[in-house]
Structure 1
Amino acid sequence: MRRLGNLMEPGGRMFLSVRHGPVPAGRQMYDVPARETIAPAHAYGLDPIHSRGRADLHGRGDVSWTLLGLRRPPNGR
C-alpha cells in the first residue's frame, strides 16, 4: 500500500477487486477481508471511496468479490 500510495498523484484514484473463496489448484492465494486492505491503505494516506461485495460473474457459488476504490486526497496528506 505504501508503494501504491506513493505512486498516486494528489486526487488520484485506484480501484481493485479482492477475490474470496477456495484457492484453485496450483495457485497460492491468501484470504484477506476488505477491512484488512482498507486499514493499511488509510495508514498510507489513501481514503476509501467505495466498498461493495458482489457474486462471481462466472457463477461459482463459492467465490465472491469485494470491489474497493481508494483515493489520495487532493491535499496529498
Structure 2
Amino acid sequence: MPRIASLLHKDGLLIMSLRHGPVPAGRRMFDVTPDETIQLASEQGLTPVRELRTSSAQQVNRDNGVTWTRLVFR
C-alpha cells in the first residue's frame, strides 16, 4: 500500500476491486478483507470515499458464492 499511495496524484482516486470466494484452479489469489484494505490505505493517508459490495456478474461465479467489493480512495 505504501507504494500505491506514493504513485497517486494528490487529486487522484484509487479504485480497487476485491474478489471474495473460492480460488479457481490454476490461479493464485490472496484473501484480503475490505476492512484490512481500508486500514492499510488509511495508514498511508488515503481516505475511503466509497465501498460497494456486490454479487458477481457471472452466473457461474454467483453459483460458487463469488462476491466483489469495490473500494474508492482519495
Q: TM-score, normalised by structure 1?
A: 0.87
Aligned-residue offset at 1:68? 0.3
Gaps of 5+ in 2: none
Runs (4+) of structure 1 moved beyond 2 Å?
A: none
AA partner of residue 54 (structure 1) = T
In 2, Cα distance between equivalents of 1:28 and 1:68:
21
Q: TM-score, normalised by structure 2?
A: 0.90
Aligned-residue offset at 1:55? 0.5
Trace 1:15-34 onto structure 2 (pairs within 5 A).
15-34=15-34
Alignment match, 2:55: 55
Question: Percent sequence identity over matched residues?
Answer: 41
Q: Work out whether 1:4 is the aligned partner of 2:4.
A: yes
Q: Which has the higher helix share?
A: 2
Gaps of 5+ in 1: 72-77
Aligned-residue offset at 1:40? 0.6
